[in-house]
Structure 1
């Protein structure tokens, strides 16, 4: 019998073929494991962060979730049957290989799926609780890296990065704050109206926001009582302006020296005002009209005056922006509207906003932003209280709608931060902080906020010192008056 000769090439060919098979099973199992995890994480992100609002191409979908869901479904659909067939054909070899591949795919997908979710934001610091019976927040200022909370009885500055309390200033004489100027990151002086509790809001106080020093205070002839919100005092350029019983008074912001007095127009009363760098805007009720008046902050000289006619008895108005000039006009029996004015006082657009929430919220103002030629606000819930709030942007130039964003859930707070909006929405299982692009209305989830630091009946969020700082209307337990959050 002739011996069978086996060449080296023939001897290793089957081994090479088995190694190739093992490699294919390993790769396909890894793809299948990754696809399964990405499907689970992706749909969890859609449900947890977007509710039913997410659809293909929708701005409210978590970042990158739609393509990841599509690709992982296609890959999983192709890979899983091959892995199952390979295991059934050679269970002793391929079962172990498939298990290793599945684990490797799951581990690899863990890192990728992290981008589909908003992170849980950690609490960097919390301010001490207010004592029982302490008054609520009247206003908030940001100045550089500081956040300043104005309570009815005192003003407190926090270093936003660390929460360190930098200074405290009590309202003089045991009185209470009843009006607070709007705050901005460029502000160096805060301006407050105050008076006796329940009495006239007839005294003014200027505060250096860097040191907490009282710069000056004085009494004015005001006839309004109680909380006046932001319409009683304003800062325009380096002038502090205040409404009195018959005029608007202008003072040097840092010294309190009188600069000018602009009398209420004849036949008019009930003024409200707002300030910007180059203007002080005043609204005056004049019978069945109201007048929009723009004053030069340095001299008090009237730059222009535009009447808004045809008002029904009981109408009311408010200033949403002093630059550009944007006011809201609410007249009984008529659709609510926003009026935008040009630089010379001409009416540029009328925007019907019957579904927009323009109410003033104590301490935080209206949920409205005016920037880059847009009016952005939050829609009111439906008549039955169901459905989610939307964020909508209108063009000031022609009143047309620029974009509409369906939110994951109802909006608790909206605040402008540079070229974006910061929004707290009441997502489940916890509140979420989102950023919305002003030009496009696209949404980016920032992270989830621990419920323990947010008062759902009144809160807002501010950006200062590299932190997001939540400020609550009430700082009594169980929520603090302010808390900073980060990644």
Structure 2
């Protein structure tokens, strides 16, 4: 079954539709808010640092992962730095033509390199060193534009990418070594004539790369690129719409009958594709995302186009454990590139741990109250068990797990308080500052451009003691002018050697 005419990312229809997508911006601060910020917040950064206490990841312990494991924040625990004072470690710009933009859907970081996809190439940038010289370590030219990327990386720094090499079809999958820029293997996807940038998804789990599109799916060995299994549609009314990888492999299966679309979620054995269990989503759900494969967490739009609820499942048998209303929450399952590059497992306002799922709340309209909060829900019961509040004019965003702690980004919207990366222990409430820094803005003449930290428009990574900000697409604030824009910006600490 086709999803309509093949919408290449370079056709006028696709570009026009994307450019017309509304862009919600942050709350604007008036004169009163600026005065309140200065009066109430002066020196708050230092006060918070000294009152936060000691190490913040509690009894979390790092477990040694194998090289082909998918890097998991629950296992790879970040340590508190000697000093949280931040310094720039990457500041890379790309030129953009007037009235043009370029997609940049993939961003990954290792201990040495931060890498980005832009259009039809991937580049890796050295972390640290002199910022006065070109910090590009390598560039890998691809055989066509990028169709889909995985958010996951193996422990030894590999990730898969799907590209479009012929017409509008996303027909090739390849594995890249992010530390060296070397293409390890590239394979043609079978029966991929209906694989488009709007319906192709790629996921990575231990030892397996899985690709799904509108008319089939295929899985490959991460080391050799050997095809392990594949499915193609004949008369079936159901297909794998996409996968969630990481610790496990979940498939989102879409069925359409009598004009009605229904969904089910299946746990697959990665190397065989065999179904371990299946969960049928209630009728009337308009959209389903899979922000976590283990524990299995579904974000569903029930009777609406926006996500309304979380559903948690038992990883052993797929039985429903709890339903969590997201009426007052902002899961961000619809980034600016929504509909492109495979978004089945991308909800930047949700982070799942072993027994907790953390969700960002909606922004407050009251300038005298905290900007928002992060709530920790018990996975089995669905009850709220802990809350991490932002500050006045400083919103918070869940970034990743750190053992059983949560890494949080606290934004800054004034010139007084710094932005921060914080480790939060939800069992004790203890906060530990990992990074304190300031992002450049349009008004900051020290930089050529602005660093976007809104999760609707930009990805935020925290790996190996560094925070990286990278927009989903590269465009000028003034579209009528050509010039450089920040492609990736990274901050590390002077107090922690790597």
* TM-score normalised over the length of structure 2: 0.67
Task: Note the residue ranges of structure 2 that are not aligned, 5 or more in a row.
Answer: 1-36, 54-82, 338-345, 442-449, 476-482, 494-498
Superposed CA offset, 1:343-366 (max 9, x none): 221112211112222223257752
Aligned length: 380
Is 1:136 the counterpart of 2:106 in the alignment? no
Q: Which residue number corresponds to residue 118 of structure 2? A: 151
- Equivalent position of 1:378 in the other structure: 360
SS where residue 126 of structure 1 aligns?
A: strand
2:244 maps to 1:274: yes
In 2, Cα distance between equivalents of 1:45 and 1:422: 25
Shift in alpha-carbon separation, 1:135–1:413, aligned structure 2, 3 A = farther
Correspondence 1:435 to 2:400: no
Q: Does 2:274 match 1:301?
A: yes
1:459 deviation in Å?
Answer: 3.3
Per chain length, whose mean CA-contact separation is higher, i.e. which structure has more relative contact order (CA < 8 Å, sep 6+)?
Answer: 2
In 1: Cα distance, 2:179 partner to 2:190 partner: 26
**What SS does the corresponding residue of 2:41 show, helix, strand or coil?**
helix
**1:381–1:44 distance in 2 versus 1, CA, 3 Å:** closer
Alpha-carbon deviation of 1:455? 2.2
Which of 436, 439, 443 lines up with 1:447 in the alignment? 436
Give matches, 1:27-426, under 5 Å.
Answer: 47-48=41-42, 62-64=48-50, 121-132=86-97, 133=100, 135-162=102-129, 164-172=135-143, 175-184=144-153, 186=155, 188-195=157-164, 199-214=168-183, 215-222=185-192, 223-228=194-199, 232-262=201-231, 266-269=236-239, 271-277=241-247, 279-287=248-256, 289-312=262-285, 315-332=286-303, 336-342=308-314, 343-358=316-331, 359-362=333-336, 365-382=347-364, 388-408=371-391, 409-411=393-395, 414-416=398-400, 418=402, 419-426=405-412
**Bigger mean CA offset, 409-418 vs 246-255:** 409-418
Distance 1:424 1:50 in 2: 13
Q: Distance in 2 between matches of 1:354 and 1:386?
A: 22
Write out per-residue CA displacement over residues 349-405 of structure 1, whole angstroms, 9 at most, x where no aligned residue.
211112222223257752221113111121122579996121111111110112122
Match of 2:490 among 481, 484, 487: 484
1:61 Cα deviation from its structure 2 partner: 7.8
SS in 1 for 2:179: coil
Partner Cα separation in structure 2 for residue 291 and residue 393 of structure 1: 26
> Hey, which of these two has a bigger chunk of helix by percent?
1
* Residue 472, structure 1, aligned to residue 471, structure 2: yes
On the 8 A contact 2:396/2:408 being kept in 1, the answer is no
CA-to-partner distance for each residue in 1:251-272, whole Å, 9 max, x for gaps? 1123221111246794323612
RMSD: 3.5
Q: In 2, are the aligned partners of 1:281 and 1:293 still within 8 Å (CA)?
A: yes
Over alpha carbons, which structure has the higher Rg? 1
Classify 1:232/1:385 alpha carbon distance in 2 versus 1 (closer, same or farther; 3 Å).
farther
Judge conservation of contact 1:239–1:298 (CA < 8 Å) in 2: yes
Q: Secondary structure at the match of 1:273?
A: strand
Q: What are the Cα deviations for residues 82-113 of structure 1, in whole angstroms up to 9, with x where unaligned?
A: xxxxxxxxxxxxxxxxxxxxxxxxxxxxxxxx
* CA drift at 1:317: 0.5
Question: For residues 249 and 383 of structure 2, what CA distance do their matches in structure 1 show?
Answer: 27
Which runs of 5 or more structure 1 residues have no equivalent in the other structure? 1-42, 52-59, 68-117
Q: CA deviation at 1:221?
A: 3.0
Provide the C-alpha distance between the structure 2 equivalents of 1:306 and 1:64, rounded to a whole number of angstroms. Answer: 48
Note closer, same or farther for the CA distance 1:450–1:120 as it changes in structure 2 (3 Å cut): farther
**Residue 447 and residue 144 in structure 1: after superposition, are their counterparts in 2 closer, same or farther (change >3 A)?**
closer
- Work out the CA distance in 2 between the residues paired with 1:398 and 1:447: 35
Matches of 1:185 and 1:438 in 2, distance apart? Answer: 26
- Report the Cα offset of residue 465 of structure 1: 4.8
For the residues of structure 1 that align with 2:152 and 2:43, how far apart are their CA atoms? 31
1: CA distance between counterparts of 2:308 and 2:167? 31
**8 Å contact 1:46–1:61 — kept in the other structure?**
no
After superposition, the C-alpha distances for 1:19-42 in whole angstroms (9 at most, x for unaligned) are xxxxxxxxxxxxxxxxxxxxxxxx
1:276 alignment partner, SS class: coil
- Please state how far the C-alpha of 1:166 moved relative to its aligned partner: 2.1
SS at the partner of 1:127? strand
3-state SS of paired residue (1:250): strand
